[in-house]
Amino acid sequence: MDAWILLCRRTCLLIFSLLLFACAPDDPGGEPPADFCTEHPCDARCADLTFRCSDACADPDDLPEECIVPACDRLCDPCDASCDACHDTCSEHYAGPPIPPARCDATSMASEAHPHRWEISFETTAQDPSWVLSIWSDAQEQLVGVEWMLPSGRRLDLDRWAGVNAHQQNISPALMTLLTPMAPQHADLLEPGVHRITVDLEGGGQPCWQWTPQHPVQDALPYRLRLRLVAVGTSFVDAAQMRSDPLLRKALEYAQDQFAAAGIALYVKEWAVAEASVRDAYRELSNPQQARELLAMLPAIERTHPVDVLQVDVAVIDRFTLASMLSGLVGSLPGPAALHGQESAGVVISSSLLPHHRGDEQVGMILTHELGHYLGLRHTSSWPGFGPDLLADTPECPKAVYDQNSYDCPDAYNVMFPLLSMREGHWWSEMQKAVMRAHPAVTQRTPTPAGSASP
């Protein structure tokens, strides 16, 4: 045995001596020959990092700082130059749609019978494949849709049509959002021309509104959804710690896999931290109203590029209290596009399940489900009732089956089923995929003129 140890030591010493010789050559003087750096990669005159960063003669921990390449980030958008993505590089840049500013210029339609009635008007074109309209009250007054008059003169009673008001009031009474079309059978609502929507407010305020069109669909270009994750509470000390947390990353990657099945690439565009006062007040939530208040207090987005503005805010709290029996909430359904710092703009998820068995997968599915709501999807089964699912290719569970054993429902493992089970894989219907891609927060890229900068 001693002989073998001695032989191994001598062999290792010989290899070390050869490597040391290879990295400490005689000075050839002047500019090194073309093949010099291939033979002597550690020489200081070999400026090419391919040679300087070789570990042939040095421990990787001793390499110069500029030679240390960080591991690629699977959650990084390959079109984002500020991070190191794991996927192919992006050869296209974002060139639309423009994001119209929010406006508070609704026309008063007040009468003795309806003293707080307002009309919003906006113009669409034949090139708009879909659009989102959001109407809200800055004073957080209750808002109810009354009527939608299309350019052709056709009128829709919003108190009855598609359950708009019933659904809105259950989620966000102070905001009404329309995604058009919200189902294939409503594609006829994409009339070009001037649309007029009438709403009532409970008080004397004036509603604000924002209309955002989807960019014309471009074949063969991928769909992308970008998130802004905001740490709230004590689970994550700062944005860097949140970004590096292995369980949270696994949850996000799990959600990424679910959206990939829908043809949408999910990325985290920004990691942020809420102010200390917000973290103290909202790290634990007990009801939906608190969640909406939190969304209104998230950090502002100062930049104006569409890629930044179209991010969807995701507030990560410590936990929902037991009484609420919640793990995630959406601010509104569908969520607004390009609107931040508003009670209904975003989703809230709890990090409390992360340390549990398969907790990362559960949090990933909860995030996927809430983002599905944000992009316009309702529950496949309406027990509890928040309005019916409008899609023909998603089954609805009979209430008797739902009440007896919900996991016997035909839609039990659809992403948008109201209860979560991790027994089987989850699925989207083709119409669900189409509705999500219609939301302007889901973007594509398009080539820009030469010289244009990537965002």
Q: Within a domain: residue 422? A: no
Q: Within a domain: residue 392? A: no
Q: Within a domain: residue 207? A: yes
User: What pLDDT was estimated at residue 425?
Assistant: 86
Mark whether 227 and 207 lie in a shared domain.
Answer: no
Considering only CA atoms, which of 241, 401, 229 is closest in space to residue 315?
229
Mark whether 278 and 188 lie in a shared domain.
Answer: no
Mark whether 150 and 243 lie in a shared domain.
Answer: no
CATH code (residue 129): 2.60.120
User: What pLDDT was estimated at residue 233?
Assistant: 82
Mark whether 196 and 292 lie in a shared domain.
Answer: no
pTM of the entire structure? 0.81
- List, for residues 12-29, the tens digit of each pLDDT value: 433 333 233 333 334 445
Q: Which of 213, 241, 256 is the last residue of a domain?
A: 213
- List, for residues 351-364, the tens digit of each pLDDT value: 888 888 888 999 99
Q: Which of 188, 213, 238 is the last residue of a domain?
A: 213
Residue 18 CB-density burial (10 A; 0-12 exposed, 13-18 middle, 19+ buried): exposed
Mark whether 228 and 370 lie in a shared domain.
Answer: yes
User: What pLDDT was estimated at residue 61?
Assistant: 54
Mark whether 251 and 206 lie in a shared domain.
Answer: no
- State the residue range of the domain holding 181: 107-213
User: What pLDDT was estimated at residue 319?
Assistant: 87
User: What pLDDT was estimated at residue 5?
Assistant: 39
Mark whether 240 and 306 lie in a shared domain.
Answer: yes
Tally of structural domains, the chain: 2
Q: Within a domain: residue 412? A: no
Q: Tens place of pLDDT for every residue, the chain, 455 residues?
A: 444 434 344 444 333 332 333 333 344 455 666 566 666 656 655 544 444 454 455 555 555 555 554 578 889 888 777 778 887 667 666 666 678 888 999 999 999 888 999 999 999 999 899 999 999 887 778 889 999 999 999 999 998 887 787 777 777 888 889 999 989 999 999 999 999 999 998 887 889 999 999 888 887 778 899 999 999 988 888 888 888 888 999 999 999 999 999 999 999 988 999 988 998 988 988 888 888 888 888 888 877 777 788 899 999 988 888 655 678 888 888 999 988 888 888 999 988 888 888 889 999 999 999 999 999 999 898 765 666 688 999 988 888 898 888 889 999 899 998 888 887 889 999 999 999 999 999 988 665 543 344 44
Mark whether 193 and 254 lie in a shared domain.
Answer: no
